[in-house]
A and B are shown apart, each in its own frame.
Chain A
Amino acid sequence: MATTTLFKKKPRELSYNPKRPVWKERPSALYQTVKGVILVLFSLSILAPIMLVVSTSLADNEQLVRAGGFVMWPERPTLEAYETIFRGPMVLQSLGVSLFITAVGTILALFVTITMAYATSRSVLFGRPVVLAVLFTLLFAPGLIPSFLMIRELGLLDSIWSLILPGIFGAFNFVVMRSFFMNIPGELIESARIDGANDWQILWRIVMPLSKAVIAVVGLFYAVGFWNSFFNALLYINDHSKWPIQLLLRNFVVQGSGAADQLGITTTPPPQSIQMAVVVVALVPILMVYPFLQKHFAKGVITGAVKG
Chain B
Amino acid sequence: MIRPETLDGLLRLFPQLEHSEFRGQTRVVVPRELLPSVWQTLRDEFGFDLLIDVTCVDYLHYRKARHRFGLVYLLAATATNERLTLRCYLDEPDLAVPSAVPYWPGANWLEREVWDMFGITFTGHPDLRRILLPEAFTAHPLRKDYPLQGRGERHNFPVLTRAQG
A binds B: no
Q: Measuring CB to CB, which residues of chain A are less than 8 angstroms from any residue of chain B?
A: none
Binding site for A on B (CB under 8 A): none
